[in-house]
Structure 1
Amino acid sequence: MVKNKSNRTSKLKKDGSLVPSGKDQAPVDDPAHRDIPAAPHTLQTNGHSQLGFPDKVYTLASAIFQNNHLEKPSAQRVVNYGKKRGLPLPKVKDAELQRAAYELAFNTLKYQELLEDIMIDSRFYLGLPIPEDEMGLVAVMLYDFQDRKFLPREHIGEGEIIQDVRDVENLLFRFKTKLAASLARCRIKHNLLSIECILPESVKTKQERSSSLPLYTWVNTLKTSIDEVQCVLRSAGFLQVKSIEQLEGQTFCKDPHCGDILVFPTQLKAQLSSTKLLSDHKLIIQDKSCSLGPNAVCSVLPEDGDVLMVGCFSGLSVSHTASLIAEKQANATNLPTVYVCVSDCTDSQREDLQRVVSAMGCKSKHKLDVSMIL
């Protein structure tokens, strides 16, 4: 399926490449205009896959960026992103792609000023008739483009085709030499050993703190047991230690406050994925703050008591509550029920909630149209 939301006037050459219309068209990156030889200098950040992302990741990232970008005073503003704020976020069901989109948007926000300097210095922004409302998409795709060392995106034909993404991608690729040269000039101008040095100290401090935070997970006892998960981890080469302070290398430990939580060093997510514990929904990554409520409720729940959840919560929190109850009341004749009020949820939100709890192994049924019983 092809989505075409672009109002930009353009025409195609015989070879299929996009050529912007307009008399003031800036010279594009072809052999006749390569007057600035420059090797690509990329932002040295926590790089994701060098293959790029499906089109829908860029549209989600651009909407997040559009809703949160820094808007400069009009006297200092050169790059305009239009007046739209509070855009609805495109729906992306895949959790990994969602995380990739948020990470891409976050990195673009961090380097917004630098990316704008590159667009201006290379004459990409001033020389092309790009609608202001699409500049958010340009920003996130430019960040990803330089992160791939200005190489073409691979697996471009996979997934849904979104024409606006393809148009912007073509324009960026045709300007790749000038964009790379502008990035190199920015590094020289600011005398930077690393592009990260351009970030404010407060941002760098937050990055250092976030990189040192442990990775919290909880064991889904609806599908497995804590002992089984620990056995799988040990067979995969993980070493269990006694405290969070001892986490180093390929290690894990139990949380001192919540018995079903296992803690890992933050860089071990890829190794965890290789065990299939995450893909099989036996081990769930979630911040510890989200696990305190379910654990507190379960600790005071009587044998014949039920749980009523009202307010803002995720499908993971519902599933975690059900998992803890199932483990605690494993030998009970009648398991307690988790009642979830969904009267304020849209149909889409209810479907998402149903999808998550079903994937986690919860059995559910609907009661009327204002509540869901798990």
Structure 2
Amino acid sequence: MEAVFEEGGLDVILPSDDTWRDKCYYKLVEKQRALAERNEDEEDEDRIMFDQLMYEEEKPKLHEWNLINRPKQVICEALSDRIGKKPKRPSKPPITWTVSDIAKAGCLLCCPPKETSFEDEQEMRRVYSLIYDVFRYKYVLNQALGDVRFYQAFPNLLNAAPHVWLLLFDLYHRQFEGRIEADAVVARKLFPDIGLTLVENALWTKRVKLAAAVARLRIKHNALELAEMLPEHLRSEKVTEFSKTNPVTCWVNCYKVNDTQVLCKDIETTFNLKMVIDAKKLKQNTFVWDRHCPQIIGFHSSMRDRIAKSSFVKDHMLIVQDKSFCLGPATFHKLVVDLELTGSVIQSHVNSPRTTAYLATLLARNERIKRLMAFSAGHRKNEYERYFRDLGMTNVVIFSDRLIDTPPDASYMEEVVAVFATPPNSYSAVVDPVDLMYNKNRFVAVAETCPC
């Protein structure tokens, strides 16, 4: 509506009024034009400032004595050379084991395990690390073997599955290529006696299909590495990380070492180390006596190889063992000392000969304790006795029978004053399974895993 008032009244302009709409339109156009011009001015200023920053540095003035580097010439390659070059395949994890290590791992994976000897602690750890990784990856390896129907083609190798996993794991890390001549010579010398030659030849005939099967598995699971196909609890490289970060602990064998001060001086001289009091100050060039467990020395993790290959370990003066295995014996020994017990003590089960040996060396310094009697050795009694003789220990008596089967009126039970109960357990809290393997003395952990 449009209302006309008398003089002095108010004119009402409706939104539909054409004059008003045109006036508003032109006002908006003028504002937009002014805004656009302002933005252009700001952009010009920014461009000028940017140009000033770009060209602020003056080029150095050249004189006739200045040397000007000539541009590098691009060498043109022949077309045949460029065509002949193939892209490099992604590198596999480095091989940290030798053919000799494979042979010794094969001995331990036999059913029953064959006894083998190691040059030093480092070689032992290397072999057991290889076995641990083989069993970690056996699920993936079995998938590849199943895809190519390996056991259908070689049914006689079904009972040698651990050997098949071992050599397939090595073949994969060699990128399914042959061994170098030097390694092939060693393999031909060591493998026949262990039964690995037949397995290696069978895998070699299927190498192309096995490589394709592994590639299909990686594509199927969208995995760049086999480790990504493992179950979550097996993906962790905890063995490698543990050996890199955790201190190396050794206990002193008092049957081989009479004076610990002389031992410390020898360690300082041999390894160029310095003894510290505080474990927090443990570094690459220091070592420390443990505060919780007697007769235990801690070294930096970087010293693991040097310690393992040293004469201290080879001569059984120092026994490499993780501290977690020594806490029980140290606690038991403290109770025996505090209670001033006199007589003999018993260990119910010999689960780890090194742990039993550590308890024996602690008790040897206690004149009140006559001997340590360890039970449940089973068929490994002779092996354990040999081990304790190598350590020079004379206060340990090994029994193959179980403690509960021992008659209570046995004469050797009359002087027993304490029992160190060490029943078999799952070892689920063990951080380093490789350390568990050789702490249980060579073959036990592997024999339990082997599908005999």
State the TM bucket, normalised to the shorter chain: 0.5 to 0.7
Checking the alignment, whether the CA contact within 8 Å between 1:241 and 1:252 is kept in structure 2 is: yes
Counterpart pick for 1:352 among 383, 388, 405: 383
| 1:305 maps to 2:342 | yes
Q: Is the partner of 2:311 in helix, strand or coil? A: coil
TM-score, length-scaled by structure 1: 0.65
| 1:213 maps to 2:246 | yes
Counterpart pick for 2:115 among 81, 92, 108: 92
Q: Which amino acid aligns with 1:133?
A: N
Q: Which amino acid aligns with 1:305?
A: T
| 1:164 maps to 2:212 | no
Checking the alignment, whether the CA contact within 8 Å between 2:97 and 2:127 is kept in structure 1 is: no
Q: Is the partner of 1:340 in helix, strand or coil? A: strand
TM-score, length-scaled by structure 2: 0.55
Correspondences of 1:329-344 after superposition (within 5 Å): 329=366, 336-342=369-375, 344=376
How far apart in 1 are the matches of 2:329 and 2:194? Answer: 44
Q: Is the partner of 2:115 in helix, strand or coil? A: coil
The answer for unaligned runs of 5 or more in structure 2 is: 1-85, 402-411, 416-452
Partner of 1:26: none
Partner of 2:139: 113
The answer for unaligned runs of 5 or more in structure 1 is: 1-36, 64-88
Quick one: percent identity of the two aligned structures?
A: 24
Correspondences of 1:119-268 after superposition (within 5 Å): 119-121=145-147, 124-125=150-151, 127-148=153-174, 150-152=177-179, 153=183, 155-156=186-187, 161-162=192-193, 164-184=195-215, 186-187=217-218, 190-205=221-236, 207=238, 210-211=242-243, 212-224=245-257, 225-235=259-269, 236-249=271-284, 251-268=286-303
Partner of 2:431: none
Q: CA deviation at 1:40?
A: 8.0
Question: CA 1:243 to 1:205, structure 2 compared with 1: closer, same or farther past 3 Å?
Answer: farther
How far apart in 2 are the matches of 1:146 and 1:244? Answer: 42
Q: CA deviation at 1:139?
A: 1.4
1:101-148 Cα deviation digits (max 9, x unpaired) = 543332122212321333345564554444432333211221133335
How far apart in 2 are the matches of 1:133 and 1:367? Answer: 34
Counterpart pick for 1:277 among 291, 304, 312: 312
Q: CA deviation at 1:100?
A: 5.2
How far apart in 2 are the matches of 1:52 and 1:182? Answer: 28
What is the alpha-carbon root mean square deviation over aligned residues? Answer: 4.0
Q: Which amino acid aligns with 1:275?
A: S
Q: CA deviation at 1:232?
A: 3.1
Partner of 2:97: 49
Partner of 1:10: none
Question: CA 1:365 to 1:53, structure 2 compared with 1: closer, same or farther past 3 Å?
Answer: closer
How far apart in 2 are the matches of 1:367 and 1:248? Answer: 40
Q: Is the partner of 2:291 in helix, strand or coil? A: coil
How far apart in 2 are the matches of 1:43 and 1:243? Answer: 41
Q: Which amino acid aligns with 1:199?
A: L
Q: Which amino acid aligns with 1:315?
A: P
Q: Which amino acid aligns with 2:267?
A: L
Bigger mean CA deviation after superposition, 222-231 or 269-278: 222-231
Question: CA 1:156 to 1:131, structure 2 compared with 1: closer, same or farther past 3 Å?
Answer: closer
Q: CA deviation at 1:194?
A: 3.9
Partner of 1:23: none
